[in-house]
Amino acid sequence: MIEVRNVIKYYGNVTALDDVSFTVNEGEIVGFLGPNGAGKSTMMNIITGYLSSTSGDVSVCGIDVLEYPDEAKKRIGFLPEQPPLYREMTVLEYLNFVYDLKKCTLDRKAHIAEILSVTKTADVKDRLIGNLSKGYRQRVGITEALVGNPPVMIFDEPTVGLDPKQIIEIRNLIRNLGKNHTVILSTHILTEVQSVCDRILIINEGRLIADEKTADISRAVGSNRTYSVKVSGPRRDVLRELRALPGVKGAEDTGDGDSDGAVFAVEADRGVDVRRPMFNMLASKGWPIMELTPRGMSLEEVFVMITDEDEKRRASRGVKKTGGDGKR
Ligand code: ADP
Ligand code: MG
């Protein structure tokens, strides 16, 4: 459905994309995950034909984007990072304008009514775009992307700047669109791809460092649990006993705490649920747990883990890290 082969993009001497290749199959919802500046927007703008690559090929539905940009664009609905909405138009005027711009041939009234209903924007169709909340403006941007009913939808950071309720609504909407579209969305939020996507492409500094099923990444992340635990007991003794507990890979005194107790960061061995043994040990010492919170993994920790695993895999196959000496 979408083929990206060896795409390189330079902005002057900045390498925004460094030999990126991947495929997205029909019906998939794929998340493009990476920190700010990783190259997500650059990749999306290249797939949608709004930006040309320095080298490499991109095709959408078998159509080469560089060679036939107009044909490719007809098959893609795109929500850019900053959707170009005309503030002084009503939603309906705007959608009619986009309908003409895209030279859409579907029945105008029925089609626009349908996409308004899909994105739940029918109730604001006569309002000026400039007067809508950010959440509704984002919905209108998605409605615009749906004009012409393209099979591929591309959303660049669709939930940035929204409040938590709006974020949930937009994620639900994207999940629903995923039932009959191929979707790529970008985000710098790990939980966002976990909750919406079938597959995750992780990009860092212009390089694709992982291409995995979401379930596999979630398992890897979940199996390397860290907890924040507040214990009422003597700091040094608690730390020593936590470190000695089987199943604990490491424990640190965070220095935080209050009259209730001291806060420790505890990392469990992979695949071990350390909560029960920790509870039993602390209870036997008469040091009650006042709080226990899974810390999860930050995006940075996931990057470190994945790059580490990638290097180990390469090392075990005898592949040397390019530019390195193979040692770690
Ligand atoms: P992301 O969307 O993941 O935050 P971008 O694709 O916007 O990342 O940017 C990737 C890299 O390219 C960054 O280092 C950014 O500063 C640089 N970059 C993006 N657009 C331009 C541009 N028009 N001119 C020069 N550098 C750019
Ligand atoms: Mg971006």
Q: What is the pLDDT along the chain (328 residues), one digit of tens a residue?
A: 999 999 999 999 999 999 999 999 999 999 999 888 999 999 999 999 999 999 999 999 999 999 999 999 999 999 999 888 899 999 999 999 999 999 999 999 999 999 999 999 999 999 999 999 999 999 999 999 999 999 999 999 999 989 889 999 999 999 999 999 999 999 988 888 888 999 999 998 899 988 988 877 776 666 667 899 999 999 999 999 999 999 999 999 999 999 999 999 999 887 888 999 999 999 999 999 999 988 766 667 777 777 777 677 767 776 554 443 433 3
| Ligand closest in space to the Cα of 10 | 1
Give ion ligand 2 contacts, CB < 5 A. Answer: 40-41
- Quick one: tokens of 319? 């592949």
Atom of ligand 1 nearest to the CA of 156: 2
Q: Hey, which of 8, 41, 52, 192 would you mutate to test ligand 1's pocket, going by the most ligand atoms within 8 Å of its Cβ?
A: 41
Q: Which amino acid, residue 260? A: D
Task: Give the alpha-carbon dihedral of 291, 292, 296, 301, to 10 degrees.
Answer: 80
Q: Are 223 and 57 in contact (CB under 8 A)?
A: no
pLDDT value at position 48?
95
Which atom of ligand 1 lies closest to the CA of 42? Answer: 6
- Which of 11, 13, 82, 188 for mutating ligand 1's site (highest number of atoms within 8 Å of CB)? 11
In the DSSP assignment, the letter for residue 130 is: G
Q: How far is CA 33 from CA 82, 151, 213, 218, 232, in A?
A: 18, 22, 13, 14, 39
The dihedrals phi and psi of 79, each to the nearest 5 degrees, come to -110, 100
DSSP 98: H
Which protein residue has the closest C-alpha to ligand 1 atom 10? 39
Q: Whose CA is nearest to atom 26 of ligand 1?
A: 11
Instruction: List pocket residues of ligand 1, CB cut-off 6 Å.
Output: 11, 14, 16, 34, 36-42
Which 3 state secondary structure label does DSSP give 206?
Answer: coil
Q: What is the rounded (10 degree) CA torsion for 71, 85, 41, 57?
A: 10
| Spatial CA neighbour of 83 closest among 38, 48, 124, 125 | 48
Q: Are 266 and 201 in contact (CB under 8 A)?
A: no
Of all protein residues, the one whose alpha carbon is nearest to atom 6 of ligand 1 is 39
Per-residue pLDDT, 222: 62
Expressed in angstroms, the distance from the first to the final Cα of the chain is 39
Give the pLDDT confidence score for residue 220 in this predicted structure. Answer: 65
The predicted pLDDT at position 323 comes to 42
Looking at residue 221, its pLDDT comes to 66
* H or E element in which residue 255 lies: strand 248-258
Tokens describing residue 98: 């986009």
Tell me how far CA of residue 36 lies from CA of 133, 165, 173, 189, in angstroms.
25, 23, 24, 10
